[in-house]
Amino acid sequence: MREHNNKLELLGSASIPKALAALGLPIMIGMLINALYNLVDAYFVGALGESQMGAISIVFPLGQVIVGLGLMFGNGAASYLSRLLGRGEKDAANQVASTALYSSLLIGGVIIFFAAIFMEPILVLLGATETILPYALTYARIYVISCIFNVCNVTMNNIVSSEGAAKTTMCALLLGAVLNIGLDPLFIYTLNMGVTGAAIATAISQLVSTLVYLIYVFEKKSAFSFSPQKFTPTKAIMTEILKIGIPTLTFQLLTSLSIALINRAANSYGDVVIAGMGAVTRITSMGTLVVFGFLKGFQPIAGFSYGAKKFDRLREAIKISILWSTIFCVAVGVLMAVFSTQIISQFAKGSEEMILVGQNALIANGFSFFLFGFYTVYSSLFLALGKGTAGFFLGACRQGICFVPVILLLPLVCGMNGILYAQPVADVLSAVITVWMALNLHRELSVIEAKFLSNID
């Protein structure tokens, strides 16, 4: 009860900076740690050569689709579980938690099975060249199968977070990330296993994270039992999970689609462009995940303030969130632009062509990243206020509605430069749309506030 009251105090009366830090920082750190898996692999594999670096870039979106299933069930169940625990409905919570976990593992296993059977045509479809394909197959056959551990981890991450066990989530993520950093050079270079070693290192790291969650459950520290007998995929439970889970999966699929389209567009320009763009994608994802994590703390504050008709507090939360996220995005964007050569060089084995490709793309992405905080605050805000259609539309702009036509058309006009600058162009278009939608939203909020005040008077 005391913890529940503390959460309500954070949402309703604590200072906005304190509330944003308390709610957003743990999630932000967790997402950042999770992103290290991808960056660490790219760093160590990049020294092997362009084709090897291109291979993990090709496989990356396939892994993200599979992990998206864990996000769909885990994120979809989390808010429902919090409400059930708050109401004291322990048995119902056990059913939801068990259904979410076993559903994600079952569907994830089916997707992995078919992906393993049709691995080669899938990788070709994702943009693998003849020189990249052998390395991509070697890496994917291990990595994709090991994604079942990551499906479990992502699902458990959200479920465990819903019961307030942030330390367990942090421990699982941190242990896996640190282990991956240590195992990558050991398997890739010391044991001379190349991309096979990178895949094995990631698989072991993900397995260890899974073991942390299993220990947590078997020692009965969790509020949930995760009993197979509690697996009850009824219409009511699945509706509650999927109404939030499907939009989450859709955003993940759009991310994978955008990466796949970049790889396919880069295919005709060779391994160098695929490898260079792969490095840029992983570098910028570190910044985007920090912002996403921070704004996970902003959403409940905005939703609570709106529901409580605390419009001044809502405006303050929006203002501070835009300010903080924009300061961060500008700082990161400047670093990416100014030190683009040095950063990309860490992922290229002395390939001047790859460095040039990555440098140009990173500079452009660095400057357009200035807009990312503003855009993401409002895409999160619409969802927090219950405006699902508007939130879904705006959230889908950057890597879907705006990006897809840009990546399909711009390379036809600008050649290779169209690939390098597709994401920055989509960022600018998304920001313009955000301005228009934000102005309409604030007008609407002003009308609602005026009606509320007039009723009080």
146 compared with 224, residue with greater pLDDT: 146
Confidence of residue 8 (pLDDT cuts 50, 70, 90): low
Q: Look at the chain and count its residues.
A: 457
Whether 191 has a pLDDT exceeding 90, the answer reads: yes
Using the Cα atoms of residue 160, residue 162, residue 168 and residue 174 in order, give the sign of their dihedral: positive
Given this model, what pLDDT does residue 34 score?
A: 67
- Cβ 333 vs Cβ 370: under 8 Å: yes
Q: Closest Cα partner for 251 from 402, 65, 378, 123?
A: 65
For 302, residues 6+ apart whose C-beta sits below 8 A from its C-beta are 314, 317, 318, 380, 381, 384, 385
Q: Are 457 and 327 within one domain? A: yes
Do residues 262 and 307 share a domain? Answer: no
Kindly state whether residues 249 and 392 are assigned to the same domain.
Answer: no
Whole-number average pLDDT of the chain: 85
Place of tokens 């950063």: 343
Q: Which two tokens stand for residue 228?
A: 């197979």
196 part of a folded domain = yes
Asked if 357 and 434 sit in the same domain, the reply is yes
Q: Are residues 232 and 161 in the same domain?
A: yes
- Are residues 394 and 378 in contact, defined by beta-carbon separation less than 8 angstroms? yes
- pLDDT greater than 80 at residue 318: yes
On whether both 197 and 186 belong to a single domain, the answer is yes
- 348 and 439 both lie in a single domain: yes
- Other CB atoms within a 10 A radius of the CB of residue 265 amount to 22
User: Which domain does 256 fall in, by range?
Assistant: 48-268
What's the number of domains the chain is made of? 2
**279/257 same-domain check:** no
Q: What pLDDT is stored for residue 13 in this prediction? A: 66
Question: Two tokens at 234?
Answer: 């009824």
**Which among 268, 296, 327 is the end of a domain?**
268
The whole-number pLDDT of residue 91 equals 83
pLDDT digits (tens, 9 = 90+) for 12-24: 667 788 878 777 7
Of the chain, the percentage scoring pLDDT greater than 70 comes to: 92
For residues 187 and 422, give the distance between their C-alpha atoms in angstroms, rounded to a whole number.
36
In a domain, 304, yes or no: yes
Selection from 377, 380, 370 nearest residue 427 by Cα:
370
Please, what sign has the CA dihedral across residues 401, 65, 55, 351? positive
**Residue 220: which residues within 8 A CB-CB, separation 6 or more?**
none
Answer yes or no: do 285 and 239 share one domain: no
Of 221, 246, 268, which marks where a domain is finished?
A: 268
78 or 412: which carries more pLDDT confidence?
412
The answer to whether position 11 is within a domain reads: no
Same-domain pairing of 234 and 87: yes
Residue 43 lies in a domain: no
Query: Model-level pTM?
Result: 0.79
Decide which of 2 and 353 is more confident.
353
User: Are 147 and 107 in contact, with CB atoms under 8 Å apart?
Assistant: no
From residue 411, give the alpha-carbon distance in Å to each of 94, 244, 353, 364, 443.
51, 35, 19, 16, 39
For 105-159, how does the pLDDT look when each residue is reduced to its tens digit (9 = 90+)? 999 999 999 999 999 999 999 888 899 999 999 999 999 999 999 999 988 887 8
Mark whether 179 and 322 lie in a shared domain. Answer: no
> Contact 382/390 with Cβ under 8 angstroms?
yes
Answer yes or no: is 33 within a domain. Answer: no
